Amino acid sequence: MKKSLVALAALAVAGVASAQSSVTLFGVVDASITGFRVQSQTPFGVTVTKNQNTLSNSGENSSRLGFRGTEDLGGGLAASFWLEAGLNNNDGTGAASGGGLDFNRRSTVSLIQDRIGEIRLGRDYDPSFWNTVYDDVNGANGIGEGLNLISNLGSGAITVARDNNSIGYFLPSGIGGTYGQGMIAAGQGVNGQKYWGGRIGWGAGPIDVNFGYGDTKINGSGDFKMWNAGGSYDFGFLKLFGLYNENSWNDLKQQVYEISVSVPIGQLELRGVYGHENAKGHTLAGVDTDANDADLWSIEGVYNLSKRTAMYASAAQIKNKGAAAFTVLPGTAAIGLAGDKSTGFNLGLRHSF
For the chain, give the number of residues: 353
* pLDDT of amino acid 284: 86
Would you say 80 and 110 are in contact if contact means Cβ atoms under 8 Å apart? yes
- Cβ 311 vs Cβ 291: under 8 Å: no
| CA distances, 33 to each of 56, 221, 348 (Å) | 6, 42, 6
DSSP 294-324: EEEEEEEEEEESSSSEEEEEEEEEEEE-TT-
Contacts of 284 (CB under 8 A, 6+ apart): 221, 250
The Cα 68–Cα 84 span in angstroms is 8
Distances (CA, A) of 231 to 128, 243, 255: 14, 7, 17
CA distance to 133, 135, 243, 324, per residue, from 139 (Å): 4, 7, 12, 23
Q: In the chain, at which residue ranges do the beta strands (DSSP E only) sit?
A: 22-41, 47-57, 64-74, 77-88, 93-94, 106-113, 117-125, 162-170, 178-185, 195-204, 207-216, 224-234, 239-249, 252-265, 268-280, 294-304, 309-320, 341-352
Residue 222 · residue 249 · CB < 8 Å: yes
Phi first, then psi, for residue 216 (nearest 5°) are: -120, 130
- What's residue 8's pLDDT? 40
Quick one: which H or E segment has residue 132? helix 127-134
Contact 60, 310 (CB under 8 A): yes
Is residue 117 within 8 A of residue 174, CB to CB? The reply is: no
Closest to 114 in 3D by CA, of 75, 70, 69? 75
Q: What would the DSSP string read from start to end of 42-56?
A: -TTS-EEEEEEEEEE
Per-residue pLDDT in tens (0 to 9) along the chain, 353 residues: 444 434 444 434 444 444 557 899 999 999 999 888 776 655 555 555 677 788 888 999 999 999 999 999 999 999 999 999 999 998 888 887 777 789 999 999 999 999 999 999 999 999 999 999 999 999 999 999 999 999 999 999 999 999 999 999 999 998 999 999 999 999 999 999 999 999 999 999 999 999 999 999 999 999 999 999 999 999 999 999 999 999 999 999 999 999 999 999 999 999 999 999 999 999 988 999 999 999 999 999 999 999 999 999 999 999 999 999 898 876 434 455 577 888 999 999 999 99
pLDDT at 94: 87
Phi/psi of residue 11, each to 5°?
-65, -40
Long-range contacts of 255-262 (CB under 8 A, 24+ apart): 255/280, 256/146, 256/149, 256/150, 258/135, 258/136, 258/146, 258/149, 258/230, 258/296, 260/136, 260/137, 260/138, 260/146, 261/137, 262/137, 262/238
The pLDDT score that the predictor gives to residue 96 is: 78
Is the Cα dihedral 144, 145, 148, 150 positive or negative?
A: positive
Closest CA to 185 of 221, 223, 216: 216
- Class assignment of domain 22-352? mainly beta
pLDDT at 252: 97
